[in-house]
Amino acid sequence: MSIRERLADYFDESHEEDVFNYIPPQETNQIYTPKQVVKMMVQKLEDEDPHVFEDPDKTFIDLFMKSGLYITELVKRLFNNPVMKEKIPDNNERLKHILEKQLYGLAPSDIIYHIATNYIFSFDTENRISRKHFKSVDTRPAVKEGKLDELLAATFDDLE
């Protein structure tokens, strides 16, 4: 618990590690994407569209959350973007907007959902930010059947 508390602030870029470094390999296919790979993935988004993190109406989804690292990296990029800061100057309001209006996530099981959302919302101890865009839904069957769009429409009434 002390490690979790020490590493809970994912905005602190001085952390060279995260809590997921302390979780041993599992006997399932639930392998956490390493932090450096997540950063590379999010950087690729910005490389392809340099303005991707400037638009408060742009949405992002993690269709198979495991740790929440991908979502938290998106949170940091959106939160720290100078244009977003100009559009939504209040830090608390900007963070609430990002997590309630721009980010979505689906976890394949209840346990993984709780791991991911506990990490994503670790700073929100009073539950002031809605978690309605983060759900425990396994997308694999819908993907295999070619019905992901239908699953997303049924899961989120405001997903664009």
Domain borders along the chain are: 2-23+32-155
Residues of the chain under the 70 pLDDT cut: 1-31, 159-160
The bridge status of strand 134-136 relative to strand 103-107 is parallel
Q: What is the pLDDT of residues 99-130, one digit of tens each?
A: 999 999 999 999 999 989 999 998 888 999 99
| pTM as predicted | 0.81
